[in-house]
């Protein structure tokens, strides 16, 4: 297929939108390479094509995405800076201080890659063996669900890293009670971001029907911050963005606690404590 | 130094000298826009975040690929983002060829709407451009707008659009050509009004 100027100009808007098929695009590009007049028109058309992107409704990317991108860029740059910005702290934390957290993150990434590979393998097998399609399809659904679960955990981990990396982050240590002497935890609060992250390790597994719940302990009120799930190693995390139900007369904040509760419903008062901060 | 006051090309100059603060300023300025374009194309927040990360790290690794002589930075950046997202969408299509592809969302949400235009992080001039494009698209006949939307956000060729809509190929080509001409005309008119 060959194009002259007239044909090229008929195709120019579709080219700018990326809507030419392969033969048309090759012919168009070949014409552009030899023509003196059409390239200027093509640039203008390309601007028009890209302008369509500006019409997209604006969505807000998660703060953890920025933290991830900046930390990656800092790592690529070698983190040698004249001052120490937050992303360098994030990168440094990723490399050194929070090696454990990042190891977990790397583990999750690996799991995602493995599960993605599983997806691809299952899809390929389904194509080759149509008689097994129904059962493989159901496997694909469950593998995809597992991938989503791991990705959710990854996002939670990213959020915790983001909060820990804030320059105004305040750390409160939490110790295990007699019920769980091996357990420990931390609560990190960033006043600037108004975000908090709770991280616990070595929590004992709970019998079915029981749950862990995180509390803000005020002078006159225990304020429920939400449930946490733990993994097989007894690790649990929670990101706290906004608490509800606080009374005006709740008084000063004394510390934080983790309790064991029956079921998922929020109790009026905490059950048996497994972690508490020393201030209480 | 106030990086938010620097122009895109000034930030890109600094990026070539491996200035992370310039990189952060560019992300703050365009991160949500790139993410929004990616999300519109791939329709999955996790994949859209991966695409956004890939696009910005590509800018960080190879800033010299941007050529100021060939146009504005945002035009180049959105072009990179769109191409990367379309690649991902096609890759999803291959992986999940037995599943229905994500909807292209058709054209409804590119109509003019006041509530989602205000983002203080975006440069004022870009807010004006966004408003102008949405208004220009909004006055197009729906069938022209749909053809443009399916091409740009759906990554479909004219033939694929014709197949999907059950319309002759020539009709789709005419809709795209007329729609883009009208949109360019409306943007040019608005630009001239702004200069008066």
Pick A77's closest partner by Cβ from B18, B40, B129: B18
* Confidence category of residue A223, pLDDT binned at 50, 70, 90: confident
What pLDDT score was predicted for residue A266? 78
Mean pLDDT (whole number) for A208-236 = 88
Pairwise CB contact (< 8 Å): A56 & B40: yes
Task: Classify residue A85 as left (phi > 0), alpha (psi -120 to 50) or beta.
Answer: beta
Write a three-state SS string for A57-97.
CCCCCCHHHHHHHHHHHHHHHCCCCCCCCHHHHHHHHHHHH
Mean pLDDT (whole number) for A69-83 = 67
| A 51-70: CB under 8 A from B | 51-62, 65-66, 68-70
From the CA of A129, how many Å to the nearest CA of chain B? Answer: 13
Residue of A nearest to B60 (CA): A73
The least confident of A3-17, A125-139, B21-35, B171-185 is A125-139
Write a three-state SS string for chain B.
CCHHHCCHHHHHHHHHCCCHHHHHHHHHHHHHHHHHHHHHHHCCHHHHHHHHHHHHHHHHHCHHHCCHHHCCHHHHHHHHHHHHHHHHHHHHHHHCCCCCCCCCCCCHHHCCCCCCCCCCCCCHHHHHHHHHHHHHHHCCCHHHHHHHHHHHCCCCCHHHHHHHHCCCHHHHHHHHHHHHHHHHHHHHHHHHHHHC
The fraction of chain B above a pLDDT of 90, given in percent, is 50
| A 134-153: CB under 8 A from B | 137, 151
* Confidence category of residue A80, pLDDT binned at 50, 70, 90: very low
Per-residue pLDDT at A105 exceeds 70: no
Pairwise CB contact (< 8 Å): B183 & A48: yes
Residue of A nearest to B126 (CA): A54
Instruction: Please list every residue in chain B whose beta carbon sits closer than 8 Å to the beta carbon of residue A127.
Output: 97-98
Pick A13's closest partner by Cβ from B81, B129, B176: B176
What pLDDT score was predicted for residue A50? 87
Residue of B nearest to A151 (CA): B46
Where chain B has pLDDT below 70, the residues are 93-125, 194-196
What pLDDT score was predicted for residue B114? 43
| A 72-131: CB under 8 A from B | 72-74, 76-77, 81, 85, 87-88, 119-120, 123, 126-127
* Confidence category of residue A89, pLDDT binned at 50, 70, 90: low
- Note whether A17 contacts B: Cβ–Cβ < 8 A: yes
Contact predicate B69/B22, CB 8 Å: no
What pLDDT score was predicted for residue A96? 45
Q: Mutate which of B98, B164, B179 to disrupt the A interface (most A C-beta within 10 Å)?
A: B98
* Confidence category of residue A3, pLDDT binned at 50, 70, 90: confident
Which ipTM did the prediction report?
Answer: 0.84
Q: Sign of dihedral through CA atoms B5, B11, B13, B19?
A: positive
User: If you search the block for the tokens 């994500």, which residue do you land on?
Assistant: B102
Per-residue pLDDT at A81 exceeds 70: no
- Note whether A25 contacts B: Cβ–Cβ < 8 A: no
What pLDDT score was predicted for residue A108? 58
The least confident of A27-31, A39-43, A241-245, A256-260 is A241-245
Pick B71's closest partner by Cβ from A47, A77, A120: A47
What pLDDT score was predicted for residue B113? 47
């Amino acid at each position: 297929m060959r194009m002259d100027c007239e044909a090229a100009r008929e195709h120019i808007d579709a080219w700018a939108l990326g809507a030419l098929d392969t033969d048309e695009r090759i012919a168009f590009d070949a014409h552009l390479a030899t023509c003196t007049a059409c390239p200027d028109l093509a640039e203008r058309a390309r601007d028009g094509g890209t302008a369509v992107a500006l019409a997209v409704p604006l969505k807000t990317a998660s703060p953890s995405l920025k933290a991830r991108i900046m930390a990656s860029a800092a790592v690529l740059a070698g983190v040698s800076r004249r001052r120490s910005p937050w992303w360098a702290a994030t990168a440094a934390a990723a490399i050194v201080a929070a090696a454990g957290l990042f190891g977990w993150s790397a583990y999750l990434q690996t799991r995602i890659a493995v599960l993605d590979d599983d997806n691809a393998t299952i899809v390929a097998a389904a194509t080759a063996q149509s008689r097994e399609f129904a059962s493989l399809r159901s496997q694909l659904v469950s593998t995809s669900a597992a991938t989503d679960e791991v990705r959710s955990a990854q996002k939670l981990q990213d959020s915790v890293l983001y909060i820990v990396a804030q320059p105004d982050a305040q750390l409160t240590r939490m110790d295990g009670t007699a019920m769980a002497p091996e357990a420990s935890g931390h609560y990190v609060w960033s006043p600037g971001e108004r975000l908090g992250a709770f991280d616990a390790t070595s929590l004992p597994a709970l019998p079915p029907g029981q749950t862990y719940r995180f509390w803000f302990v005020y002078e006159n009120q225990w304020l429920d911050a939400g449930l946490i799930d733990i993994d097989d190693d007894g690790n649990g995390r929670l990101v706290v963005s906004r608490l509800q139900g606080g009374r005006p007369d709740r008084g000063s904040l004394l510390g934080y606690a983790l309790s064991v509760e029956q079921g998922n419903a929020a109790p009026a008062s905490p059950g048996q404590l497994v972690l508490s901060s020393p201030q209480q | 130094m106030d990086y938010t006051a620097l122009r895109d090309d000034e930030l890109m100059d600094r990026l070539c000298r491996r200035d992370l603060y310039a990189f952060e300023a560019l992300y703050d300025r365009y991160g949500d826009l790139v993410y929004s374009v990616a999300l519109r194309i791939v329709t999955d927040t996790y994949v859209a975040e991966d695409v956004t990360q890939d696009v910005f790290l590509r800018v960080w690794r190879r800033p010299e690929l941007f050529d100021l002589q060939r146009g504005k930075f945002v035009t180049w950046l959105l072009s990179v983002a769109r191409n990367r997202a379309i690649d991902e969408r096609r890759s999803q299509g291959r992986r999940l060829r037995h599943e229905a592809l994500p909807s292209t969302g058709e054209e409804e949400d590119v109509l003019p709407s006041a509530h989602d235009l205000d983002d203080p992080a975006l440069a004022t001039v870009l807010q004006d451009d966004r408003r102008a494009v949405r208004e220009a698209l909004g006055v197009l006949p729906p069938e022209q707008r749909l053809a443009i939307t399916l091409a740009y956000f759906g990554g479909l060729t004219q033939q694929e659009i014709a197949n999907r809509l059950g319309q002759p190929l020539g009709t789709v080509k005419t809709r795209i050509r007329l729609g883009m001409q009208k949109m360019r005309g409306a943007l040019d008119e608005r630009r001239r009004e702004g200069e008066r």
